[in-house]
Chains A and B, each alone.
Chain A
Amino acid sequence: DAMVIQNPRYQVTQFGKPVTLSCSQTLNHNVMYWYQQKSSQAPKLLFHYYDKDFNNEADTPDNFQSRRPNTSFCFLDIRSPGLGDAAMYLCATSSVRASTDTQYFGPGTRLTVL
């Protein structure tokens, strides 16, 4: 089935140790999004790629970077994770080729920072 896949589902890292989360999609969608979600809160958009164009949210810390090497894959790099970066990280995709297209989310990666 076409879907949004996130790996790993659970990631444990040490304070300050770089970590990379990955997202892949089989939907052939041209937009990919990364969200951060903390407990019982709504997802917060970090950035998104429209094709190869990177769009950063104004309040996303520099500690968060992203790469999109091709249509199917997108990576979230956290250069120096702090305790406050422990959260669920959600990837989403959308087609935006028609006004009826909307965002589909992956299952998320739960990041723990020790």
Chain B
Amino acid sequence: GQQLNQSPQSMFIQEGEDVSMNCTSSSIFNTWLWYKQEPGEGPVLLIALYKAGELTSNGRLTAQFGITRKDSFLNISASIPSDVGIYFCAGQLWASNFGNEKLTFGTGTRLTIIP
């Protein structure tokens, strides 16, 4: 199935550094979502974006919905050890007939914090 282009694929950073990752698509979405997944667990929703240009923060996390509706970025400021995990972006296109709102996932960004 279709996947979004997510970069970088992996990041190795030191505690306290800022992190930036992004997703791009060839088609538009009207919702962008960012999930974090820790080993052995399901994805946890971090931020949901519903409007083109929207900038939303959740604690140290900030995400933006691109103006073209084809991209989004996620920033994490002052990283801490518990930020370790895989971050997935996901695009959602709402149809007029509710019930078919599938998520298109990015390929994931694996974040590792070097002690």
Binding site for B on A (CB under 8 A): 4, 6, 31, 40-45, 48, 50, 53, 55, 57, 59, 88, 90, 92, 94, 96-97, 99-100, 102-108, 110
CA distance A94 to B103 in the complex (A): 11
A-B pair count, CB < 8 Å, reads: 67
Task: Verify A110–B40 contact, CB threshold 8 A.
Answer: yes
With A42-B105, A45-B103 already in contact, the answer to whether A99 and B43 are too (CB < 8 A) is: no
- In the bound complex, residues from chain A placing their C-beta under 8 Å from that of B99 are 31, 50, 53, 55, 96
Task: Verify B92–A42 contact, CB threshold 8 A.
Answer: no
With A42-B88, A90-B42, A108-B42 already in contact, the answer to whether A102 and B105 are too (CB < 8 A) is: no
CA distance A42 to B6 in the complex (A): 11
With A42-B3, A107-B42 already in contact, the answer to whether A100 and B48 are too (CB < 8 A) is: yes
30 A-B pairs with CB atoms under 8 Å apart are A6-B42, A31-B99, A31-B101, A40-B86, A40-B108, A40-B110, A41-B108, A42-B3, A42-B88, A42-B106, A42-B107, A42-B108, A43-B88, A53-B99, A55-B99, A90-B43, A96-B101, A99-B31, A100-B50, A102-B92, A103-B103, A105-B35, A105-B42, A105-B43, A105-B44, A105-B45, A106-B42, A107-B41, A108-B42, A110-B40
- In this complex, how many residues of chain B approach chain A with their Cβ under 8 Å: the count is 29
Please indicate which of the listed interface residues A40, A42, A97 has the most CB atoms of chain B within 10 Å of its own CB: A42
CA distance A107 to B40 in the complex (A): 8
- In the bound complex, residues from chain A placing their C-beta under 8 Å from that of B103 are 45, 103
Nearest to A99 among chain B residues (CB) is: B94
Binding site for A on B (CB under 8 A): 1, 3, 30-31, 33, 35, 40-45, 48, 50, 86, 88, 92, 94, 98-103, 105-108, 110
CA distance A42 to B45 in the complex (A): 14
CA distance A53 to B100 in the complex (A): 11
- In the bound complex, residues from chain B placing their C-beta under 8 Å from that of A90 are 42-43
Task: Verify B40–A96 contact, CB threshold 8 A.
Answer: no
